[in-house]
Amino acid sequence: MANTPPKRPSGITGSSNIVKDVIEAVRALAEQAESFKEAAGDLPRSVSRGREFTLPGGARGVYGLSIRSGLAGNKPVVNEFGNVKMTNEGVVVSETREPLVDVFDEGGEILVVFELPGVAEADIAVELNGDVLALNAQGPRHRYESETLLPYPVDGESAQQNYENGYLQVRYFKAASPATEDDSAAGRDGNDDG
């Protein structure tokens, strides 16, 4: 028995090829999205789609993606969410879901919005580690984990959170850049010799 096939995760043996094909097709579509950049003015700025399904053996899977245009350089940004992932070993269904996350640049602030249905505000923990915002949430039926790379350094002390109807909003002021701090300090003490 030198060539035994690798074990597949339980509950998805019969349908893993179908799920794998769907994930690969969505990723291919996302890669082609850049060629549509010229038409981005005619497209919605954000599209999100996801599905929940039950696999053989009773495992519940959620897979979706969010495509946003009009961001840095007009390059579309594609984010996957859910608990179904492609790995080198094949399709894996996890007990932990990755939530749908949107990051908005609002001038002097960064707004991060997490979609977390099925959890209470008391069940949510958010932690800023440098430029990564980590989220952990566990409700009676759903568990979420996420690490979101922020597009700019932020002032960790300025965090404001609001949770309503399954949506967590976390807002930070952008951190002042060292050049901006030096310039403003020079202006305050009247010395602008440079």
0.85 cut: is pTM over it? no
In whole angstroms, what is the distance from residue 47 CA to residue 41 CA? 14
Pairing relation of β-strands 143-149 and 160-164?
Answer: unpaired
Question: Measured between alpha carbons, how far is 84 from 101 in angstroms, rounded to an integer?
Answer: 16
Give the SS3 label for residue 179: helix
Q: According to the model, what pLDDT value does residue 141 have?
A: 86
* Residue 12, pLDDT score: 43
Query: What's the pLDDT score for residue 19?
Result: 67
Q: Give all domains of the chain, ordered by start, each with its CATH number.
A: 12-95 (no CATH), 99-188 (2.60.40.790)
* pLDDT at residue 109, rounded to an integer: 94
pLDDT along the chain (194 residues), means of 10: 43 54 67 51 52 68 70 64 78 83 90 94 96 94 92 93 96 79 46 48
CB-CB neighbours of 98 under 10 Å: 21
> What pLDDT score was predicted for residue 40?
44
- Pairwise CA distance, residues 17 & 54, whole Å: 15
- Partners of 126 in the β-ladder: 135
**pLDDT tens digits along 90-117:** 777 788 888 989 888 888 999 999 999 9
